[in-house]
Amino acid sequence: MTANEVDQALVAGPEQVGPRLIAAAEDQWFDRKSSRMAAKDLAPALVAFANADGGTVVVGLHSGKVQGFAANRAKLNDFRQAPFDFTAPPVRATFEEVACVNEAGDPDVLLVIRIDPSERVHETQAGDCYLRIGDESRKLTFGQRQELQYEKGQSHYDGEVAEGVDLTHVDGNLLNFYRRATGASTVTKILQARSLLTRDGKLTNGGYLLFGRAPGDLFPQAYVRILRFLDIERGTGARLNIEEGMDLRIEGPIPTVVQRASDEIERLVPKKRALLPDGKFGPTPIVPRDAWLEGLVNAVIHRSYSLAGDHIRVEIYPNRIEIESPGRFPGLASPNNPLEISRFARNPRIARVCADLRIGQELGEGIRRIFAEMRRVGLTDPIYRQTAGTVRLILVNLPSIDPRIAAQLPPDSQRVLEILRSAGGSLGTGDIVDELGMSRPATMTRLKALRKFGLVRRVGRSPQDPRAVWELLDGS
């Protein structure tokens, strides 16, 4: 069950709200708690949601039963005071009592707690730090907490006030579509529930990027540029290989941008003749649709919107698709190990609304899906390259290593090939060491193994030539 379905359950009648919430799957934005627990035991969940993307905790449900608070209404106040008594600094949360029918068949209430995503790192009274990851409130190690503090060094840009605009500047049709999708009674209520309005009722940057009629007037960098090239090399100047008429600019509110950009990319992606699942030959895109679509969605949701003067670029070549997004990976995450990146959204408000609208997956989950899609069709793993201010995803139409050969190679040998492919030429051993993130002896072990199987070659004047380079052999 997605977060918007939880909101729909909360506005169901008293007889339905309990069973529907019990049937809901706990996830990144939703958790259930027993009304019999001590108020201090609520602190880890409050801290975890505040340190991540915010969320909703419903107290009064446990083990498939609607407990409610009829047996001990005094505990309602204890839970309301939990953010002040058991978290530091106090977590920002709002409380609402929702009518229900308890397991005995009597009228009762559930306590609904909505936690805002925070710009600060919170901890429990005991000094423990938690982060919501999937359906878990995970206790962080000292190093993980440092990473979280590093990322939260600046407040979330999507939560700051959008200067000079208000609700009269939003797309009413799009906003009402979202309201209906969540089951909210009013537009204001769902915007408040998703922290898209400040406490004094002002529209945030995230709210305007998601629903503004023309967010480009305040964020001129918030668009997607799609380019198709005639050759596998980009070229420069007079030799720039952009196909005539294939430099497109897609702008508007985020849901519209994702839809329009995906339609254009699907139209422009080169296709090859291949055997289809029905046993017949037909056109197949050089890169699986779900792989590039997830890359596009990740770029739109998680880009740094505070970086003025830069935009998202989707470059389509005869043999690959490259997607470049402003902003680096969160915190101390390394592009050398993208599958190990823990989930943490740069724009938590935007990420949550997009999840409500079923646009893409969260950071981390989306990356895993991209890898899975490329591997499913037998293509080499995605390549991530990070510059001082951007992240570039490269999806290449190139078969992965034969499994029989891969089984005989040292771990991470495939990554060496990907580094060389991404470079588009030759690299010295030191360059490969830096990109691979391993010691020189470990890197040499992998290079020698790849050379043994005829996948790479060393080019130099002598075995001891310090200027020797490594390059791919044809077909690698």
Q: Are 215 and 252 in contact (CB under 8 A)?
A: yes
pLDDT of residue 363 exceeding 50: no
> What values do phi and psi take at 158, rounded to 5?
-75, -10
Fold of 223-396: Heat Shock Protein 90 (3.30.565)
Given this model, what pLDDT does residue 331 score? 54
Report how far residue 196's alpha carbon sits from residue 177's, in angstroms, rounded to the nearest whole number. Answer: 16
Second CATH level (architecture) for the domain 3-141: 2-Layer Sandwich (3.30)
Distance, CA of 230 to CA of 318 (rounded, Å):
7
Please tell me the predicted confidence (pLDDT) of residue 1.
45
Across 157-162, average pLDDT: 89
Span 444-453, average pLDDT: 91
Section 104-132 average pLDDT:
93
pLDDT-derived band at 151 (thresholds 50, 70, 90) equals low
**Tens digits of residue pLDDT in 272-291:** 887 666 667 778 899 999 99
Phi and psi of 344, rounded to 5°? -160, 120
Average pLDDT over residues 165-174: 93
Closest CA relative to residue 111, chosen from 188, 170, 182, 31: 31
Average pLDDT over residues 334-344: 63
Residue-wise pLDDT for 50-85, tens only, equals 998 899 999 999 999 999 999 888 899 999 999 999
120, HSE (Cβ side, Cα atoms, 13 Å):
8
What pLDDT, in 10s, does the model give residues 206-263?
999 999 999 999 999 999 999 999 988 887 776 778 888 899 999 999 999 999 999 9
* Average pLDDT score over residue span 440-466: 90
What is the average per-residue pLDDT within 295-305?
91
Is the pLDDT at 174 greater than 90, yes or no? yes
Residue with tokens 């559930």: 110
What does pLDDT average to over the chain? 87
Residue 349 has pLDDT above 50, yes or no: yes
Asked if pLDDT for residue 333 goes beyond 60, the answer is no
Q: What does the pLDDT read at residue 35?
A: 95
Is 60 exceeded by the pLDDT of residue 422?
Answer: yes
The structural domains of the chain, with segments of one domain joined by +, span 3-141, 167-217, 223-396, 403-472
Percentage of residues in the chain with pLDDT exceeding 70? 90
Report pLDDT for 455.
87
Buried b (16+ CB within 10 A) or exposed e, 285-316: bbbbeebbbbbbbbbbbbbbbbeeeebbbbbb
Q: What is the mean pLDDT of residues 450-470?
A: 89
- pLDDT for res 222: 94
Q: State the pLDDT at residue 23.
A: 92
Name the CATH topology of 403-472: Arc Repressor Mutant, subunit A (1.10.10)
pLDDT for 417: 84
> What average pLDDT does range 448-467 have in this prediction?
89
Cα gap 229→244, rounded to integer Å? 9
Residue 334: per-residue pLDDT: 58
For residue 472, the cross-strand partners are 456
Alpha helices in 271-402 (DSSP H): 289-302, 348-356, 365-376
Residue 216's closest CA among 169, 261, 263? 169
In this prediction, residues 310-327 reach a mean pLDDT of 94
pLDDT for the residue numbered 466: 85
Segment 434-445 shows an average pLDDT of: 89
Residues β-bridged to residue 316: 228, 321
Identical fold, 223-396 and 403-472:
no
Q: Which residue has the higher pLDDT, 241 or 106?
A: 106
pTM for the predicted model, two decimal places: 0.69
pLDDT (0 to 100) of residue 400:
77
